[in-house]
Amino acid sequence: MAKKTFESAIEQLDTIVRELETGDIPLEQAIKIFEEGIKLSQLCTKRLDETEEKMSLLIKAADGQLTNIPFE
């Protein structure tokens, strides 16, 4: 899978969910797009985890020191 943005992965995942919810596709195709949905979901989770890590808020204290405060 080429490097996707989080937003494009979410859009594609949304499309897959809508397709699967219709129930109008053959089983083999449904399995194939479900597998793609799982990959996209994992990608989104990874990107969110990376973002949370980055947002472990580096706060500049009054004395100029950087303090790492975990994001909750």
Q: Does residue 46 fall inside a structural domain?
A: yes
Given a cut of 70, the residues of the chain with pLDDT beneath it are 1-2, 56-64, 66, 68-72
The residues near 55 (Cβ < 8 Å, ≥ 6 apart) are 71
Q: Does residue 30 fall inside a structural domain?
A: yes
Q: Does residue 1 fall inside a structural domain?
A: no
Q: Does residue 51 fall inside a structural domain?
A: yes
Nearest to 58 by CA among 71, 45, 72, 69: 69
Q: Does residue 24 fall inside a structural domain?
A: yes
Q: What is the pLDDT of residue 34?
A: 97
Query: Which residue segment(s) compose the domain that 49 sits in?
Result: 6-68
Report the number of distinct structural domains present in the chain: 1
Is the entire prediction scored with pTM above 0.85? Answer: no
